[in-house]
Amino acid sequence: MENVLKPMDAEQLRENAHKMVDFIADYYKNIESFPVLSQVQPGYLRKLLPDSAPNHPEQFEDVLNDIQAKILPGVTHWQSPDYFAYFPSNSSTAGFLGEMLSAGLNIVGFSWVTSPAATELEVIVLDWLAKLLKLPEDFLSLGQGGGVIQGTASEAVLVVLLAARDKFLRRYGKNSLAKLVAYASNQAHASLQKACQIAGIHAENCRFLETDSSTNYALSPDILQEAISKDIAAGLIPFFLSATVGTTSSTAVDPLFELGKIAKGNNIWFHIDAAYAGSACICPEYRHYIDGVETADSFNMNAHKWFLTNFDCSVLWVKDRSALIQSLSTNPEYLRNKASQGNMVVDYKDWQIPLGRRFRSLKLWMVLRLYGLENLQCYIRSHIEYAKHFEELVSLDQRFEIVAPRTFSLVCFRLISPHNDDDFCNKLNHDLLDAVNSTGKIFLSHTVLSGKYILRFVVGTPLTEERHVNAAWKVLHDEATKLLGRGSAN
């Protein structure tokens, strides 16, 4: 019984955690040897694991062996340098260490009193990051605003949508819910649609406004103004606008200043979703993409996407924290305490959906301190340079075309059909993506813009170097040659 793991024993923790760290370090050392996209079939794991949990303790080594043999084959390696799909979800040594400490302390910081350092560090670190992004002072904690770490951008947009909804219901009466209208472009992330569903905003009152290549898929202020005027004329109440800086499909940037002006003119809550591209705005040369943020009520970016902070860490700033609190606070007897009752502190439970919350600011603090602004800027710039390089490689091959302008580190491209036939071309690119991802050597994703099936190549993982981009291009080039050599899409 000597080897039996106790629920918590400092020496056992030391011994086993060292082994786990070795396991993870070896994983990173060998990460290029795995197929980037897991190649298992649905249900593969049920065949490999017992039907029920063990009655008696097992050995840690046996579990580690199972992870190696049974779990890792079912992992898609988001940290692989050959991962170019979706937007990235960064891991870093600093982010990992912060996450480890957070798991180690395992506090639940819903109110200030439940761990003062968790709340106070979050307030300070989000002020730091707001300053790096040169956000207007209204978003900092010293005035009426402030920042909060949400789990995801989906939660961020939900909480501000709820705050906006309730502000309008207080003004127009609770029976006006059916009249509230939300606006965004048809390139906005689906998280906004989900937030509307949860918030009770009628589907027919969600305006996902048309965009096309003439604005590079950015929302046109004229189209927004026209939609708002039409809704007002119909007796509806415009209440929420979400603009995106770096859309998911093609990193389009909505014109913040013009949209913000319209939002202000109509008293609409203006939210900015910069989930992926917000990170780039710490570089002076990319900061202009969020010019106009001063007109917004809320601003969100995912530090867990492209800012070296391990998942999850979505950073939301608001100008008027009381709007969030009015919407989301509860005050049950069992949570009452002197600091909260005296209004002396921030209680983040009132800025989010769940009660419980992790000590997530630790990892962001570690990232900021252990890398520093200059390194973080170099990190972003290097990815944008690699993406430019990839774009050049694609442009030099006449069988391919670039489909949307590259703004950050995403390249949207596709094979051109030899037959000038749209359906055939879409199928060809679909088949190319399948063929490339089935090699296991690289992983890309796709989107559809104006009916065109397009491949997305995003540079964003910390281990990616130029040689990986060159190797990825070779895979794409060779698979395209094979596919075109067969004369038709399968």
CB of 230 to ligand PLP, least distance (A): 27
With contacts defined by CB under 6 A, name the span among 36-44, 243-251, 318-326, 389-397 that binds ligand PLP: 243-251
Task: Using the rule CB under 6 A, give the single segment among 107-115, 269-277, 449-457, 475-483 that binds ligand PLP.
Answer: 269-277
Which one, 112 or 311, has the nearer CB to ligand PLP?
A: 311
Calpha distance 41→455 (Å, rounded): 23
Q: Cβ of residue 275: shortest distance to ligand PLP, in angstroms?
A: 4
What amino acid occupies position 256?
A: L
Q: Please count the residues of this chain forming the interface with ligand PLP, following the rule CB under 6 A.
A: 15
Of these, 114, 141, 302, 429, which contacts ligand PLP (CB under 6 A)?
302
Query: Which of 363, 352, 365 has the alpha carbon at shortest distance from 103?
Result: 363
Among 110, 168, 276, 473, binds ligand PLP (CB under 6 A): 276
Question: What residues contact residue 180 under an 8 Å CB cut-off, 6+ apart?
Answer: 165, 168, 169, 201, 205, 236, 237, 239, 240
Binding map of ligand PLP across residues 367-396, x = CB under 6 A, - = no contact? ------------------------------
By CB under 6 A, tell whether 309 contacts ligand PLP.
no
Phi, psi of 6 (to 5 degrees): -85, 160
Question: Measured from the CB atom, is 150 or 340 closer to ligand PLP?
Answer: 150
**Position 461 contacts ligand PLP (CB under 6 A):** no
248 vs 327 by CB, closer to ligand PLP: 248
- Told to check if 314 binds ligand PLP by CB under 6 A, we report yes
Tokens of 403: 């489909």
| Chosen residue from 191, 242, 266, 461 binding ligand PLP by CB under 6 A | 191
- Would you count residue 324 as binding ligand PLP (CB under 6 A)? no
Q: Whole-angstrom Cα distance, residue 256 to residue 132? A: 19
Task: Specify the stretch interacting with ligand PLP by CB under 6 A; choose among 246-254, 290-298, 438-446, 450-458.
Answer: 246-254
In sequence order, the 6+-apart residues with CB closer than 8 A to the CB of 425 are: 414, 415, 416, 417, 419, 452, 453
Q: Which is nearer to ligand PLP, 149 or 345 (CB)?
A: 149
- Nearest CA to 154 out of 248, 287, 252 is that of 248
Q: For ligand PLP, which stretch binds (CB under 6 A), given 242-250, 263-271, 379-387, 416-424?
A: 242-250
Grouping H, G, I as helix, E, B as strand and the rest as coil, residue 272 is strand
Cis-peptide into 62, omega within 30 deg: no
Looking at the Cβ atoms of 80 and 314, the one nearer to ligand PLP is 314
Per the CB < 8 A criterion, the answer to whether 16 and 65 are in contact is no
DSSP code at position 258: H
Q: Residues 248, 417, 426, 437: which binds ligand PLP (CB under 6 A)?
A: 248
Positive or negative torsion for Cα 207, 208, 214, 217: positive
Q: Could you say which residues in the range 75-94 bind ligand PLP, by CB under 6 A? A: 87
186 lies in the site for ligand PLP, by CB under 6 A: no
E strand intervals along 55-185 = 146-150, 180-185
**189 contacts ligand PLP (rule: CB under 6 A):** yes
The span from the CA of 185 to the CA of 454, in Å, is 19
**Nearer Cβ to ligand PLP (162/237):** 162
Q: In a 10 Å sphere around its CB, with 0-12 CB exposed, 13-18 middle and 19+ buried, how is residue 427 labelled?
A: middle
Contact between 274 and 243 under an 8 Å Cβ cutoff? The reply is: no
Indicate the residue among 228 and 410 with the shorter CB distance to ligand PLP. 410
Q: Considering the rule CB under 6 A, would residue 253 count as an interface residue with ligand PLP?
A: no
Classify the C-alpha dihedral 48-50-53-58 as positive or negative.
negative
**Cβ nearer to ligand PLP, comparing 179 with 189:** 189
Min CB(153)–ligand PLP separation in Å: 4
CA–CA dist 411, 397 (Å, integer): 15
Least spacing, CB of residue 118 vs ligand PLP, in Å: 21
Determine the 3-state secondary structure of 459 from DSSP: coil
Cα gap 201→178, rounded to integer Å: 7
Q: Which is nearer to ligand PLP, 189 or 321 (CB)?
A: 189
Phi, psi of 16 (to 5 degrees): -75, -35
Complex with ligand PLP: residue 39 or 193, whichever CB lies closer: 193
Which is nearer to ligand PLP, 140 or 206 (by Cβ)? 206
Report the DSSP beta bridge partners of residue 413. Answer: 402, 455
Quick note: the x/- pattern for ligand PLP over 135-154, rule CB under 6 A, is -----------------xxx
DSSP state of 78: T
Binding site for ligand PLP (CB under 6 A): 87, 152-154, 189, 191, 244, 246-248, 273, 275-276, 302, 314
